[in-house]
Amino acid sequence: MKKQVVLKNLCSFEPQHIFECGQCFRWEREEDGSYTVVARNRVINVCKEKGFIVFRNVTEEEFHDIWRGYFDLDTDYGQIKKTLSEHDRFLKDATEYGSGIRILNQDLWECVVSFIISANNNIPRIQGIIQRLCQQFGDRLSYGGKTYFTFPGPERIVGDLSFLRAGYREHYIKNACETFLSSNFSDIAALDTDSARKKLLTISGVGPKVADCILLFGLERREVFPVDVWVKRCLNSLYGEAMKTKTPREFAVEAFGPLAGFAQQYLFYYMRNAGFDKTGGMKHA
DNA sequence: GCGCAGGGGGTCG
DNA sequence: CGACCCCCTGCG
């Protein structure tokens, strides 16, 4: 039987925007332009064809139980973009540029490890390290004649990790496993955002930026605003005066409130992909 | 083509 | 604040 779900009339959904806006590292772009991802211990393939969104390797039941939540389909992104675009011209351009972005609701543990690995690192290498981790410790899955691997839990990541070639992050990964297994992290989802952040910061290798990524992508805290070098550059060049008296995070919380996390994603995607240079100006202007 | 800097979605001491 | 492990990329 063919396992697929097709959606019509779904606005604000572009696989490329979703997977290439930096929230997720485990995707593959296929020859046909579709994206294949491993999440929730399953393989899924997504593409947009003539306005239809096609989810392959998914039953109706799985779609409702798992993927509707994962792809954040119950959130009205049209309204979010409208609100943000009223803030200023740059946000308006950014929301148009990344109009199909959605914030994925990812696994907490996967976010912890992935964003620890992301610190002071580049994307191809981050993806390589994660790939090797999953290949070594994850469960094997197959789809379309190819092999995929689930993301391993902390209890599975054992022994020598030098094959990961993660450098000094290797130690952080081991530490995160121990922390997750020994202290009680299962209740973190019930904590308020500041308490959850404090708890995340106890993991070595998790600083403010990584903690905010985990909160935003792994704990559905959309009011947080991860500040990386790109976003910092962006805020400084756009809102220079206002930035003198506030930290970037304070500024964002004030400016975007509960939508800060969405704003961050639109800004990040726009800055990284629309041809801006490191000063916040245009590359070829 | 190959070898060599430069620098990377920060964090720690 | 400076170092940092190890590529990945770009230039010579």
Which residues of A carry out catalysis? 209
pLDDT band at residue A283, thresholds of 50, 70 and 90?
Answer: low
Say which CATH class A108-218 falls into.
mainly alpha
pLDDT band at residue A275, thresholds of 50, 70 and 90?
Answer: confident
Tens digit of pLDDT for each residue in A122-171? Answer: 999 999 999 999 999 999 999 999 999 999 999 999 999 999 999 999 99
Q: What percent of chain A has pLDDT over 70?
A: 99
Q: Is the CB of A89 under 7 A from strand C?
A: no
Q: Is the CB of A160 under 7 A from strand C?
A: no
**What local confidence, expressed as pLDDT, does residue A184 receive?**
82
pLDDT at A112 over 50: yes
CA distance A270 to A231: 10
**Residues whose CB is below 7 A of strand B:** A 22-23, 25, 118-123, 125-126, 203-211, 213, 226, 228-230, 268, 278
- The full set of domain ranges for chain A reads 4-74, 78-97+222-285, 108-218
Measure, in angstroms, how far nucleotide C6 C1' is from residue A121 CA: 9
**What local confidence, expressed as pLDDT, does residue A175 receive?**
96
CA distance A209 to A115: 9
pLDDT at A285 over 70: no
Find out if CATH 3.50.50.60 is the number for domain A4-74.
no
Say which CATH class A78-97+222-285 falls into.
mainly alpha
Measure, in angstroms, how far nucleotide C7 C1' is from residue A79 CA: 41
pLDDT at A72 over 70: yes
Least confident among A48-62, A110-124, A265-279: A265-279
Instruction: Take residue A167 and report the two structure tokens written for it.
Output: 């450098």
Measure, in angstroms, how far nucleotide C1 C1' is from residue A63 CA: 50
Q: How many CB atoms lie within 10 A of CB A86?
A: 9
pLDDT at A273 over 60: yes
Q: Which of the pair, A109 or A50, is modelled with greater confidence? A: A109
Q: Is the CB of A159 under 7 A from strand C?
A: no
- R_g (Cα) of chain A, nearest Å: 19
Tens digit of pLDDT for each residue in A217-267? Answer: 999 999 999 999 999 989 988 998 888 889 999 999 999 999 999 999 999
Average pLDDT over every residue of A44-71: 97
Q: Do domains A78-97+222-285 and A108-218 have the same CATH topology?
A: no
pLDDT band at residue A284, thresholds of 50, 70 and 90?
Answer: low
A37 bridge partner residues:
A27, A44
**What local confidence, expressed as pLDDT, does residue A180 receive?**
94
